[in-house]
Each structure stands twice: as C-alpha cells, then as structure tokens.
Amino acid sequence: MQKKPLISASERLSKLPPYLFAELDRQKKAARKRGLDLIDFGIGDPDMPTPDAIVKAGQDAVADPANHRYPNGAGCDSFREASRRWMKSQFGVECETAAVIGSKEGIAHIPMVFCNRGDLVLVPNPGYPVYRAAAILADAIPVDLPLLSENGFLPDLESIPPAVLREAKVMFLNYPNNPTGAVLTLEQMTGMVEFARKNNLLIVSDNSYSHIRFDGEQPMSFLQVPGAEDVVLEFHSLSKTFNMTGWRVGFVAGGAHLVNTFMGAKENIDSGAFTAVQKAAEFAMEMPHGLFNERMEVYRERRDILVEGLKNLNWDVFDSPGTFYVWVKLPRGADSMVFSRKMINHAGIVITPGSGFGTWGEGYIRFALTIPSARIHQAVGRLEQMELHKGRLLKWLKKTGD
C-alpha cells in the first residue's frame, strides 16, 4: 500500500494540463532502446548554435568581475538602451523596456500582476501551453480563444460573449503563431488594439517569432499601432531570433506605466537576468543582420523540402508564412496523440500532437524545422516508402498497432 504523502500540492497545481512532451519523451526513450533511428521534429529548439561573435561577447562579460554581483532587476542600463534601440530600428517604436529571464518567465508572471482571483484570461487555443498555466497558477480562469482554420487561425473577437468580456482582464496573442505559423497584418493588429481599448483588456503580445517570416514582409509589433502602449505589453525573446534558447534572456516592451507595473511585481520574485548574459544580448541586438538572414535561408530551404514533400503525399499542410513550424491537418477522426505515437514506433519520426496545444489543436500535428535538411529529406523518404498518402493515413492508423 502506497503511503499517503504528508505534504500535498495545491489545488491549482492539479488544474494544470499534462506536460506536453512527457508521453512523447517516454515513447522516444523506448524507441531508442529498441535501436530505432529517430528523426525528431518535436521541439522548437534551434539546432544551429549561437553565433560565435555573441558567444565571445558573453565570454568576455562573464570574465568581468563587475558582472558577478546581483544584477539590476529591470536590466542594466545598457541592455535596456539596446532593447529600446532594437524596438526603434526594427519597428519604428519608441517605448519602455525591461529585461526578463527569457520571455517564458515574463509571460508566466502576467496574470499574477494584472489579475485578481477569478478574473478571466483569454487564451489562444491551440496555443503555447504557458498562457493557460500562468492563468491557473494565478487563480485566474483561462477561457479559450479558438483559432480555427476557417479564420486562418486568427481569433474571432466578435464571437466572444459579452459576459466573458466583462470579466476578462488579459488576452494573450502570439503572431507569428506557434503552433500554426499564422501571421497578422498591421490592419488586423489595429483592430485588435481598438477592441482591447473598448473592452479594457490588456493585450499580451508574445512576439518571440517576430523575425521568422517567409513572405518578404517586415517584422511587425502591436506597439506600432498608435496608442497601443496603453493596452499592450509585448515580449521579445532572443531565443529564436539569435539562436540563444539556452541563454534565457529577453525583454518586455510597452508604455512606461505598464512596464513599471509589471516590474514592480517581478522584482519581488527574482533578482534579474545575469548581467553577462544581458551583455551578450546587447551585442546580438547591435549586430548587422547578414548572419541572421543566412539562418533564415536555412529555415526556408528546410521548410520548402518538408512542405513540398508532404504536399506530394497529398497531406493537408497549412502553408503559413511565419515561424519555423509546419502545421498539418490529419484526416477526420484521427487522434493526434495516437498518430504521433505510431509515427515514432513505425516511421521513426517524432512530431508534436496538436492536442498538446489545446482542444482546438486536436486533429493536427506540428513539425519543427530544427533539424538539418538531409534529415528532412530522409523523413519524407520514409513516409513515401510507407505510402502514407492522406487518403491512406486513417486506414493506417486503424490497422497499425503500437
């Protein structure tokens, strides 16, 4: 008989959804034990290293004893100046900024700062799981904002019930979008800002993928909309833009009032990002864009290989212009977790089930373009050999055991 623990977790912890990758990690481990060669499209973690010049800047900063003491909670002056220059040069925006320990950390604290117990938080579905978890951990109530294919995976704000809007305090938005890759126009952003102002909503823009676009359009920010600084906080991450996922550094941008309110809570929670990491980030934001453009061409090549290969198999691909993800619709009736598990065991291919991003993600799968082109070619070849054309996928799912 299992002994009952003396200390129990809070009720809010039990409300958190299951960890997205836990079951897949178990399946991957078991498959590798059997000697299976896995081609892993699962996690959106860039495989290309942080550029050498940024690493060197970080090494120099680590060696400087001046950076070994507690950092300024809101970020050192030079980092904040660099991030403000970045917002001006990239988006034409003048705003206040402050450092965060990666945008995930910053986003997770938003409901704690701006919501009271029982307030509603509008959460995109499918969407990055942290938005929902952050609301739950702050004793706020997450409410789905469905992103549907018929709307191009954009939210239909006019369909939100008035009773919900009266109690809603925060709306998370993420464009270019993870997991779908959808993007917004400036006109659409303007409409969303006007909607937020009308309904006293704080828009929290997760702009982590701002610079990963394949349609030739310039990166965009919600803060480009006149007056947005009153109702928008935007998070920028150096993780995807500069291949710095492990460095854990980013910044929040917006009007001084909102940024300072956010930092008033955050400074009671942590002691800020390591100053040496901020120095490396400063260097990154001041770099010429040539190297970044080279990395974008690598992603473009990978995307073209995968999208063309899947379309040749008659798979239903959402040919989106943003992020390094490819979002694919499964045949009607297919379970995305079952499909993902069987892809591991029978094709040696790891993809992310759409259900992990929310109920409206069911029936879809996500590929991350964070593996070399040669491996993507190999994955497409495996699917061709298995003859997994769209019309045969559901039949394959029903026939093939785990």
Quick: pLDDT tens for 24-78. 788 889 989 999 999 999 989 999 999 999 999 999 999 999 999 999 989 999 9
Mean pLDDT (the chain) is 93
- Range among 35-39, 143-147, 331-335, 337-341 rated most confident: 143-147
Nearest one of 390, 385, 224, 283 to 62, comparing CA atoms: 283
- Residue 16, pLDDT score: 83
Give the model's confidence band at 400: pLDDT under 50 very low, under 70 low, under 90 confident, else very high.
low
pLDDT over threshold 70, residue 1: no
Strands 232-237 and 202-206, sheet pairing:
parallel
Listed in sequence order, the residues at least 6 apart from 249 whose beta carbon sits closer than 8 Å to its beta carbon are: 99, 100, 101, 102, 237, 238, 273, 277, 278, 280, 281
For residue 155, give the DSSP letter.
Answer: B
Listed in sequence order, the residues at least 6 apart from 41 whose beta carbon sits closer than 8 Å to its beta carbon are: 349, 350, 351, 352, 366, 367, 368, 369, 370, 371, 379
Give the architecture-level CATH label for domain 52-286.
Answer: 3-Layer(aba) Sandwich (3.40)
pLDDT over threshold 80, residue 18: no
pLDDT over threshold 70, residue 401: no
Nearest one of 73, 23, 17, 4 to 335, comparing CA atoms: 23
For residue 330, give the DSSP letter.
Answer: P
- Residue 40, pLDDT score: 96
Domain 11-49+290-399 has CATH 3.90.1150.10: yes
How many residues are given for the chain? 402
The structural domains of the chain, with segments of one domain joined by +, span: 11-49+290-399, 52-286
Nearest one of 356, 360, 318, 322 to 337, comparing CA atoms: 356
- Element of type H or E holding 278: helix 275-286
Question: Which residue's structure tokens are 């010429």?
Answer: 288
- Residue 230, pLDDT score: 96
C-alpha to C-alpha distance for 384 and 301, rounded to whole angstroms = 20
C-alpha to C-alpha distance for 170 and 203, rounded to whole angstroms = 6
Nearest one of 177, 123, 185 to 153, comparing CA atoms: 177
For residue 206, give the DSSP letter.
Answer: E
C-alpha to C-alpha distance for 360 and 89, rounded to whole angstroms = 37
Q: How far apart are the first and last CA of the chain?
A: 31
Give the model's confidence band at 258: pLDDT under 50 very low, under 70 low, under 90 confident, else very high.
very high
Give the mean model confidence (pLDDT) for residues 333-352: 92
- Residue 26, pLDDT score: 86
Which tens digit of pLDDT belongs to each residue from 70-103? Answer: 999 899 999 999 999 999 999 999 999 999 999 9
pLDDT over threshold 60, residue 166: yes
Which tens digit of pLDDT belongs to each residue from 204-237? Answer: 999 999 999 999 899 999 999 999 999 999 999 9
Looking at per-residue pLDDT, the higher value among 295 and 57 belongs to 57
Supply φ then ψ for residue 367, to 5 degrees: -105, 135
Question: Which residue's structure tokens are 């030739």?
Answer: 216
Asked if residue 229 lies in contact with residue 198, where contact means CB atoms within 8 angstroms, the answer is no
- Range among 14-18, 252-256, 264-268, 341-345 rated most confident: 252-256
- Give burial (CB, 10 Å; 0-12/13-18/19+) of 287: middle
